[in-house]
Amino acid sequence: MRIDVFSIFPEYLAALDLSLIGKARQDGLLDVRVKDLREFTTDRHRTVDDTPYGGGAGMVMKPEPWAQALATALDPAPEGPARPTLIVPSPAGEVFTQKTAYELAGAGHLVFACGRYEGIDERVLEWAGEHFTVRPMSLGDYVLNGGEVAVLAMVEAIGRLVPGVVGNPESLVEESHSDGLLEYPVYTKPSQWRERPIPEVLLSGNHAKIARFRRDEQLRRTSERRPDLIAKLDPSTLDKADKAT
């Protein structure tokens, strides 16, 4: 998978050189290219912003540098029929979920446009629609100062689902939100820590009972912390809960 990221703070994306994503880049599983938007300006001051039409606080990102930058992510001969997907972090986007991560992990080429200031001139997204599948994307209902933090989160969530990136694919199966439920609690040695024991069942070696315990914990936690997810559950998920005896 190829991933292009454009930002006026490319150093923000240095975290993508680390850990699992960094290793996947070294292994050639992910081809991540971070570029500085200012490379695509033409004036002496490398200007990327200007005042908003219609007034209002703050500045808006100029369209031309973005069009010049995004054009470099369009391969001269795009690999195959698939258009690259352009993800534009925005408070006004669709909410990024684990479902979105799975979907995007199957894409061949993702392009991320990190806005700053009050956002990017809307005409950029209109123009980009001719060459990309454009998806404004929100991390959640809170306002960040720019798109970089959102891109770090999305690239990590997507990258770890690309085959070969996570050593043991098993660990991707039983994780939060993969079955619509929150994950169960985890414990490790010592079995008694500061007068606190671990749930006895986990020492029983009875895998059926352990599976049942974990499923019950998932349901308990989800109903306590995220009742909204219970309402959205696929009925078969609840049946599975009964079967995990």
Ligand X SMILES: Nc1cc(-c2ccc3ccn(Cc4ccc(CN5CCCC5)cc4)c3c2)n[nH]1
Q: Which is nearer to ligand X, 65 or 147 (CB)?
A: 147
153 is a contact residue toward ligand X (CB under 6 A): no
Nearer to ligand X, 150 or 182 (CB): 150
- Binding to ligand X in span 14-43, by CB under 6 A: none
d(CA 25, CA 17): 8
Question: Cβ closer to ligand X: 117 or 210?
Answer: 117
Among 51, 145, 171, 206, binds ligand X (CB under 6 A): 145
192-193 and 133-138 strand pairing: unpaired
Smallest distance from ligand X to CB 192, Å: 42
Question: Judged by CB under 6 A, does residue 136 bind ligand X?
Answer: no
Task: Tell me the one-letter amino acid at 3.
Answer: I
Among 29, 144, 210, 241, binds ligand X (CB under 6 A): 144
Q: How far is the CB of 154 from ligand X (least distance, A)?
A: 10
How near is the Cβ of 58 to ligand X at its closest, in Å? 7
Q: Residues 106, 140, 163, 197: which binds ligand X (CB under 6 A)? A: 140
Q: What is the DSSP letter of 186?
A: -
User: Judged by CB under 6 A, does residue 53 bind ligand X?
Assistant: no
Residues 94-133 that bind ligand X (CB under 6 A): 115-116, 118-119
- Site size toward ligand X (CB under 6 A) is 17
| Binder among 13, 104, 107, 150 for ligand X (CB under 6 A) | 150
Cα–Cα dist 84/167, whole Å = 27
Nearer to ligand X, 58 or 197 (CB): 58
| Rounded Cα gap, residues 197 and 200, in angstroms | 8
The radius of gyration of the chain's CA atoms, rounded to the nearest angstrom, is 22
Instruction: Decide if residue 63 touches ligand X (CB under 6 A).
Output: no
Q: How many CB atoms are closer than 10 A to CB 176?
A: 16
Contacting positions for ligand X (CB under 6 A): 89-91, 115-116, 118-119, 138-140, 142-147, 150
